[in-house]
């Protein structure tokens, strides 16, 4: 990905339909912006951050979040609540998510990359618009990027100088995430935000361990070493506090795919199911203590603890995994369960394994009386047939919802990152996702 100046990119966004009127989702203000500032009929200009004001649908009031608004040359403060923009916080009731007491369907996609590729606001907006056009309600994305040097990095959220981390609140730091949130909302989407990674992509847990405890120390000390826990809490607190009153965020996730074993393969040999459960209980209680508005989940793969089961992912107590889905659902400060589904990397056939995996998690969902979502899934071959069968199982088991891995878009620099699973507009899987979102909402009556 070519580097470019974010400020120049923002300043050069041209989204004007006529000389005088800015269309919906177009830019209508911001530092270094000199284009038209009048929004098309039915939309208003809302300040998303100092660099970007955007025309969003509606004129109504009632949002819990007041934002400064620029309309024409006059600046005023309005309560932003356009029809497309999420207001109100998502809660849970039994196995459902709710909004204002009514069921809220969770269906959508992962886009870990949307805020991390130095996309300008036009591209970022397009990425969200492509997801929203499937009928999606939710996007899961990365709220972390740990770096030890700024060379060749775009947005990053925490930089380490030896054992001293500094949270980046600047334009290529949390201000960038402000834009991610604003553009998700402008497209009517809510975010599930993951706060670190088991894997070394974008830094993650091993950066904390390496910087604080020494290079190559055990991955699982992330979960148990008090120095590391304090540093992670410090990051989480800064991130979460910034968005306390932000209804565009559906939930915080403690980590992407936490396991006893990480990318470095270094292990203390002491990590068990209870290591990660204890950590998840402490961290989720910590978030709840500073943020009573948002839901909290782990972000794990949902391994089931069935000792002796010949299938690896049903042996959550194995020393490399350390996850017991049912036990973690019992933690009172975790609001819903998460699980992933990758039969190819797990050495299993797509089916009947995949359908059974969904069915088993739906059973735990009902036992715990909390929502559970299939929040990542992918298959290498026969995608249409396999995804159709999994969607059918999601619907028939009443599983709360699902998010496909992963969204794809064709942007100004070409197609977005593709790990083999990306779904681009105009493809058969994109159409399937659109049909599924409609079916899931119909099932829920939403
Ligand atoms: C955390 O790691 C540091 C550095 O290895 C060590 O001195 C400290 O005792 C550890 N603390 C815990 C609680 O494991
Ligand atoms: C977690 O990280 C370890 C170390 O990078 C890696 O071996 C493992 O594959 C990762 N797990 C997943 C699910 O990516
Ligand atoms: C979860 O809690 C329920 C109710 O207290 C209990 O019956 C069940 O054994 C617990 N499950 C696990 C795996 O700890
Ligand atoms: C594709 O997957 C579906 C669902 O598992 C299955 O019924 C179908 O036979 C598969 N098709 C091929 C060609 O493997």
List, as one string, the DSSP characters of 255-316: -BS--SS-TT----S---HHHHHHHHHHHHHHHHHH-SSSEEE-------B-TT-SSGGGBT
446 lines ligand 4 (CB under 6 A): no
pLDDT at res. 274: 97
Q: Hey, CA dihedral for 160, 162, 164, 170, is it positive or negative?
A: negative
- Ligand 2, atom 5: nearest CA belongs to which residue? 263
Domain boundaries, the chain: 88-444
> Probe ligand 4: pick from 381, 384, 389, 432, max atoms within 8 Å of CB?
389
Query: Which CATH number does 88-444 carry?
Result: 3.20.20.80
pLDDT digits over 324-350, tens only? 999 999 999 999 999 999 999 999 999
> Probe ligand 1: pick from 216, 222, 223, 227, max atoms within 8 Å of CB?
227
Mean pLDDT in residue range 64-69: 31
213 lines ligand 1 (CB under 6 A): yes
- Give start and end residues of each alpha helix (H) in 121-225: 121-132, 174-186, 205-213, 221-224
Nearest to 250 by CA among 197, 202, 185: 185
pLDDT at res. 446: 96
Ligand 2 centroid vs 132 CA: distance in angstroms? 30
386 lines ligand 4 (CB under 6 A): yes
Residue 175 falls in the annotated catalytic set: no
Phi-psi map region of 398: left, alpha, beta (phi>0 left; psi -120 to 50 alpha):
left
User: Is the pLDDT assigned to residue 83 strictly greater than 50?
Assistant: no
Catalytic option among 118, 246, 253, 257: 257
Q: DSSP for 321-348, please give it.
A: T---HHHHHT-TT--SEEEEE-HHHHT-
- Ligand 3, atom 14: nearest CA belongs to which residue? 327
CA distance linking residue 153 with residue 160, whole number of Å: 13
Nearest to 116 by CA among 144, 80, 140, 85: 144
State both tokens at 29. Answer: 């203000």
Query: In the chain, what percentage of residues exceed pLDDT 70?
Result: 88
Q: Are 119 and 141 in contact (CB under 8 A)?
A: no
Residue 376 falls in the annotated catalytic set: yes
pTM: 0.83
Nearest to 2 by CA among 124, 114, 170, 118: 118
User: Is the pLDDT assigned to residue 59 strictly greater than 70?
Assistant: no
pLDDT digits over 158-193, tens only? 999 999 999 999 999 999 999 999 999 999 999 999
1 or 194: which carries more pLDDT confidence?
A: 194
Query: In the chain, what percentage of residues exceed pLDDT 90?
Result: 76
Catalytic option among 146, 253, 348, 376: 376
């Amino acid at each position: 990905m070519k580097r470019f100046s974010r400020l120049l990119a923002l300043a050069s966004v041209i989204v004007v339909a006529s000389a005088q009127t800015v269309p919906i989702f177009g830019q209508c203000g911001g530092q270094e912006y000199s284009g038209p500032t009048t929004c098309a009929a039915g939309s208003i200009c809302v300040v998303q951050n100092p660099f970007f004001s955007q025309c969003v649908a509606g004129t109504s009031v009632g949002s819990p979040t007041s934002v400064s608004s620029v309309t024409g040359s006059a600046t005023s403060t309005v309560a932003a609540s356009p029809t497309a923009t999420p207001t109100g916080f998502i809660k849970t009731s039994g196995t459902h998510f709710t909004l204002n007491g009514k069921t809220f369907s969770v269906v959508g996609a992962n886009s870990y990359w949307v805020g991390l590729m130095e996309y300008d606001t036009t591209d970022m907006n397009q990425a969200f618009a492509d997801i929203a056009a499937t009928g999606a309600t939710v996007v899961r994305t990365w709220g972390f990027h740990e770096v030890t040097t700024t060379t060749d990095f775009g947005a990053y959220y925490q930089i380490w100088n030896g054992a001293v981390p500094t949270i980046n609140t600047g334009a290529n730091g949390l201000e960038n995430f402000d834009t991610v949130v604003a553009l998700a909302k402008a497209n009517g989407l809510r975010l599930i935000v993951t706060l670190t990674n088991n894997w070394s992509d974008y830094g993650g847990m091993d950066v904390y361990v390496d910087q604080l405890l020494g290079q190559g120390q055990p991955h699982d000390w992330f979960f148990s070493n008090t120095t590391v826990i304090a540093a992670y809490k410090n990051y989480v607190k800064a991130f979460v506090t910034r968005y306390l009153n932000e209804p565009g965020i559906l939930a915080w996730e403690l980590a992407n795919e936490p396991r006893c074993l990480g990318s470095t393969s270094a292990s203390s040999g002491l990590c068990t199911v209870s290591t990660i459960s204890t950590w998840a209980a402490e961290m989720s209680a910590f978030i709840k203590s500073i943020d009573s508005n948002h839901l909290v989940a782990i972000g794990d793969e949902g391994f089931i603890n069935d000792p002796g089961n010949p299938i690896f992912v049903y042996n959550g107590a194995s020393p490399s995994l350390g996850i017991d889905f049912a036990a973690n659902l019992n933690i009172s400060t975790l609001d819903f369960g998460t699980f992933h589904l990758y039969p190819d990397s797990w050495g299993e056939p797509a089916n009947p394994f995949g359908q059974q995996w969904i069915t088993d998690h739906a059973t735990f969902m009902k036992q715990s009386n909390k929502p559970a979502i299939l929040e990542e899934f992918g298959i290498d071959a026969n995608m249409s047939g396999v995804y159709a069968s999994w969607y059918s199982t999601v619907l028939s088991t009443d599983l709360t919802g699902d998010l496909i891995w992963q969204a794809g878009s064709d942007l100004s620099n070409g197609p977005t990152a593709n790990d083999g699973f990306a779904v681009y507009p105009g493809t058969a899987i994109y159409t399937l996702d659109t049909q599924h979102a409609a079916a899931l909402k119909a099932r829920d009556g939403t």
